[in-house]
Structure formats: C-alpha cells, structure tokens
A and B are shown apart, each in its own frame.
Chain A
Amino acid sequence: MDCLRGARWWECFSPAGPDLSFTSLLEFLKMQKYTMNSSQQSTLRAAGAIRQRLAERQQDRDCIHLPVRPWAEMQRLHRLIERAQRQGWHGAVRRLTEAMRRELDTCHYRLLEVLATVRQWVAAPPLPTQADVYREILALRDANTGEICVTTDPIVLEDISLGRFEIRLDWKSSGSGSPYRVVALNPHPAASNSDVTHPHVQGETLCEGEGRTAIRAALAEGRLCDFFLVVTQILSTYARGSAYVELDQWEGESCYSCGRTVCEDERCSCARCGETLCGECCTSCEDCHDGYCPGCISQCQVCGSDYCSSCLTSCAACHKAGCSNCLQDGLCRRCHEQQHQDENEPCAAAATQSHVAVSSHRLGQTAIPPRPG
C-alpha cells in the first residue's frame, strides 16, 4: 500500500497504474472512504464478469486420462512372466511377453496424449487479474453492460468514404465463435450489395483475414485494447482481390451501351463479347434466348426480329440472313416461291418445243423459236 500513499484514487486504476490485486485496491478505497460513481461501478462489475468468463474458459479444458488399467495389466503380466520363467514354461513366456508388448504400446500412446495436453496447459496464457481487465476497459474509455463498444475514426479507402464503424464486443459471448459485430454508423454500402458496408464486412461480420490469429489470442487473454486495435487496423486496410466487393466496383458497374450504373440484380452480360449491360440495353435472341449488346445482336432480314448470328442462316439464293422461321429448305420465302415458279415453267417450254420442225434428210438450219421469259 505504500506505493499508493499520496496517490489520487483513480490513479490506482489508470492503465499504467500499479499492478496490485483488485482486493488490495478495494481495501485501499474503503480505507480512504472513496466512493465510485455508477459508471465506474458498472465498469468494475463488467471487469469482474469478463475475468470470470475467461477463468471458466480455462477450466473447460481437456481432462487427462492416465493409463492406469494398461499399467496394472503390465504389472500382472510381468509377474506371470517371471513365474513362467522360473517354471521353464517357454511357450507361456513368449505369449505373455507379446501381450506385455501390446500393453506397453497402449501405455506409450496414452502417455503421449497426456504429454500433449499437459504441454498445452503449461503454454496457456496467464489469466489476467480483475484489475488488468478494469484497466483494459478504462483505456477504451467506454463500457456498457453486456457490450463494450469502440467507435473508429471515419474510414476512407481509395477515396471512397465508408463512414465510422462501431466495434461491439459482447463480452458475455467472448468464448463463442465471433463475439463481436462491426456496425456501420453512416452506411455507404456497395451499390451491388447493401449488406456489404466495407470491403471486408458483410452483414456486420468482419472477415478477419491476416488478423484472425491476433484477434483470437487477444480475446483469449483478455487484452481488449489489442483486440479493438487489430480490428480497427483491419478496417483501415484494403486488401485488393480479397474483398466481398472490390472498391473499383463499389459504386456499381456501368452499362457498356448506355453508361448507366447497374446494380447486381439488373446486371447482365453480352453472351458474345462479355460486356456488362443494363436490362434495357440487353436484347435476347428470339431463338436461343441469350442476351446480347446492341453491337452483337442481329436481325432476321426477312421478318426483322432479333437473333444472334449463330441462329441466322443465309438464303442459298439471295444470301439474305434469315431465321429458322423464315427459311425453308435453305431458301427464304420469296426465293422458295421463285424456285417453285421456275420448276413449273420448263414444262410449258417443253410443250412448245415439240412443234418445231427438225431437218431429217439433209443438213440445214431451222429457225429456233425465241426462249420464253
């Protein structure tokens, strides 16, 4: 207590204060008849509960099981082997020795497991004192019953302002998977997904990436300041290529045809050139129903409907591009009709030609009637 003599009472709890037991500090306060306001009492209660939770987590550790039964069995087999050796029962000695070897293997395996567990116990981080946790909370300057909240400075990544974020740690759940949330106070979410308020935050859940191990260690050891510091640094860092929505697409993608910003629900892409299109600029082929940009869609030259180049064929006669509805036997309707006419007219010409005289006896010339058409 000598080191506290003359100190103002709140200095006992300052982040750089003396590392005395919490009980000693409370005794000191009681002796000096100092009282704490409701906020400080609340913080004290929170510090006590957090430490209790950390202590419970340490108690929930694996039990060790010493190989008592295999060892007892080995001792029995050892006695039997000695007796068999005295009696000269060599066959029995061999069988008992083999059985003892198996029990010895079991003992060895179980002892290795025990050793691994005990090593984990030894390496476990020291439990922070209640005063440590109280100082952690003081350093954060804020403490609410159930949740500890820290607000970041405004986050700006590559000239995109994402606003402030509140990191809310539910210390009652500090042993469970993800006991904290990242809440956008002035949301500026991605245009394509309103759930993504930060490149690495979706639905108030931060994807920790490189910071995962440091966050887990800080929470396990009750180092709340370090936890909030690491989360803040992750929010302040942009990892290109590892984001829910990349920053160059944060305001949405532009339509290749009209330039309008397109959200994810409306977005489609040209099946031929792959460019991004809005719903109005994307035209579907009447046959295959794929979407195309204005530059890649074509029209049937017979009916005028929209088709992709793959679904159009050329008329064999006039070479016009036609759809499957407009072409029959490789010809458009007009050429098909023309062909039909041509097929009928040669019969009439043949009938006319049968009345033309043919020179039979002497070589000469005969008048050739003009060709029809």
Chain B
Amino acid sequence: MPGGVLDRIAFHNVQDFSKESRAVKILYVNNDGGGFADYVETAEGTSVRAFFAERVPHGQPHDYLIRVNRQPVAADQVLHEGDRVSFTPVKIEGAAS
C-alpha cells in the first residue's frame, strides 16, 4: 500500500501519544480534615472548576475557599505548571476542650 494512509495513521497515533503525555504538576493543598499538601498531576488546560470536581467529587465549590497561588481566582481559570491550589472548607467547627 502506498505510504499515504499508513503514514497518516502513524502520524495520528504519534500526535495522540504526545497529547496524552502533557500533564502539569501542581501543589495541591487540602485543608479539609487531613490538611495534606502534595504534588499532583492534572491534564494540561484543566480549569480550577474541573480540578475541584476531580479532587472533591462530593463537595460543592461554594462550601470551600478556593485559592490559586494564595489568591482567589475565577472558576474557569486554567491551571499551569507549578501552581499552588488550596481548598479550605468555609465551615470548620471548633470545640470546647
């Protein structure tokens, strides 16, 4: 077979492979309960809203203070490599020791 179709298929596969490998590493801080901070990977182009849905699937954004690099941001802001994202619950109950 002439190389045309095969070349196109191979080229398409190479493109898919390079797209899948593009992920961004961000520092994720969850101040809900455990309060851990860790580096995680997410797909390039992920918005803050999507990242929240990915990490807190059963939570509602309005129940959290969402900060990127210590600043409040819009929900559709895209995350970049090295960003620092934190989720802090709005309601954290104290006690009486």
Q: Do A and B bind each other?
A: yes
Cβ contact within 8 Å between A217 and B93? no
A239 within 8 A of B: yes
User: Which of chain A's residues have a CB closer than 8 A to the CB of B32?
Assistant: 214
Beyond A15-B69, A15-B70, A139-B70, whether A216 also contacts B35 by CB under 8 A is: yes
A213 within 8 A of B: yes
Cβ contact within 8 Å between B70 and A207? no
Which of B11-19, B44-52, B81-89 forms part of the interface with chain A? B81-89
Beyond A16-B69, A139-B70, A229-B88, whether A217 also contacts B34 by CB under 8 A is: yes
> Residues 173-214 of chain A: 1 if any B CB is under 8 Å from the residue's CB, otherwise 0?
000000000000000000000000001111000111111011
Beyond A213-B35, A215-B35, A223-B37, whether A234 also contacts B70 by CB under 8 A is: no
Cβ contact within 8 Å between A210 and B97? no
User: Which of chain A's residues have a CB closer than 8 A to the CB of B70?
Assistant: 15-16, 135-136, 139, 225
A136 to B29, CA, bound (A): 14
Beyond A15-B69, A200-B96, A244-B96, whether A214 also contacts B35 by CB under 8 A is: yes
Chain B's closest residue to A200 (CB) is B94
B5 within 8 A of A: no
User: Which of chain A's residues have a CB closer than 8 A to the CB of B74?
Assistant: none
> Residues 44-86 of chain B: 1 if any A CB is under 8 Å from the residue's CB, otherwise 0?
0000000000000000000001010111000000000010001
A233 to B35, CA, bound (A): 14
A237 within 8 A of B: yes
Chain A's nearest CB lies how many Å from the CB of B27? 10
Chain A's closest residue to B31 (CB) is A214
Chain B's nearest CB lies how many Å from the CB of A181? 15
Number of contact residues on B: which range applies?
A: 20 to 34
Number of contact residues on A: which range applies?
A: 35 or more
A125 within 8 A of B: yes
Beyond A213-B33, A213-B34, A214-B33, whether A237 also contacts B91 by CB under 8 A is: yes
A236 to B96, CA, bound (A): 15
Chain B's closest residue to A240 (CB) is B93
Q: Please report which residues of chain A, range 219-239, place their CB below 8 angstroms from some CB of chain B when the two chains form the complex.
A: 221, 223, 225-226, 229-230, 233-237, 239
- Which residues of A does B touch, CB under 8 Å? 15-16, 19, 125, 135-136, 139, 199-202, 206-211, 213-218, 221, 223, 225-226, 229-230, 233-237, 239, 242-244
